[in-house]
Every structure is written in C-alpha cells, then in structure tokens.
Amino acid sequence: MIELIRKELSVSAFIRNGPLLAVAILSSAILGGGVYECLVIDPFWPKRPDLIQPVQGGISRGRFWLPFHITFEIVLIFCLIQAWNSPSVRVWLLFALATHAAARIWSGFDFIPKALAFERATAVDQASAKRWTQRSRFRLPIALLTSIFLLRALEAAFPR
C-alpha cells in the first residue's frame, strides 16, 4: 500500500513538473544548437558567407533559433509562476532566467544585428566575420550555465 502511494505521488510530481522537464529539454536543445553552430557552421562561413545566407541557398539560423527561444522563454516564465511557492525550485529558475536574459540581451544588441547584416551582405569582411564567430563562442558557457541551473531546479522539484 505504501509503495502504491509513493508511486502515485511520484507520478503526480512528474505531471506537475512536466513544464520544468520541458524547459530543461528546450535549454539542452538550445545549448546543442549553439555547440553545433560553433563547431560545424562558424569555422566555415566567414570564407563562404553563402552558407548562412538563405537567399543564396544557405541555412536560415532564425528558423531554428526563433521558435526555440520563444518557446523556451514562455515555458520558463510559466515554470516560474508555477514554482513561485517553492523556494528551492524558484531560486534555480531565477538563476536560469538571469543567465538566459543576460545572453539574450547581449545577443540582441550585438550578435543578432551583426548576424542579420552578414546574412544580407553581398560582400562580407572575413576578419570581422571571424571576430564575430570567436566572440560567439562565449555565449556557450552562459547557455551551459542556464542548463545547469534548470537541472538543479529539476533536482529540487524531485527531492529524495
């Protein structure tokens, strides 16, 4: 009987914390996309800008980043509202929100405008493109930190 109650409690905890699991998965996907971009795309596009220019048949980075970030941010805010009365979960969600917000603000003022300019440019200065890709790598540790904070929130939501 006790085992059945414990099982029901863990299933209800899992259902209740489904959005938290979803936001952790989304954060991992965002981190994975950043790693992919840094390892596979960024080493080559400064010499071949057509790789990131959709009108030239290149990839559309916005097609990946925009939906993932919007979904992530909506689910993260929902999780914060849902976990507000749970300080042990809330603190990690706030840390995740802070690191993600820092990365998004930095991206919004620096990386995104330059990325869009590179995508539209008919000629790309290789040196500035290379500098952009080198600076872009510094966003990965921030994304990793956001993911770690979300995993800690998950850990707090499922106490032992």
Could you tell me the two tokens for 68? 């993932």
Task: Check whether 4 has a pLDDT greater than 70.
Answer: no
Task: Give per-residue pLDDT as tens, 19-33.
Answer: 999 999 999 999 999
Task: Check whether 70 has a pLDDT greater than 90.
Answer: yes
In single-letter form, the type of residue at position 62 comes to G
Mean per-residue pLDDT over the chain, rounded: 90
Task: Check whether 60 has a pLDDT greater than 60.
Answer: yes
In single-letter form, the type of residue at position 150 comes to L
pTM of the model: 0.87
Q: How confident is the model at residue 13 (pLDDT cuts 50, 70, 90)?
A: low
Residue 92, classified by CB atoms within 10 Å of its CB into exposed (0-12), middle (13-18) or buried (19+), is buried
Give me the pLDDT at residue 14, please: 63
CA distances from residue 58 to 26, 72, 97 in whole angstroms, order as listed: 25, 25, 32
Question: In the predicted model, what is the mean pLDDT of residues 113-136?
Answer: 93
By three-state DSSP, how is residue 59 classified? coil
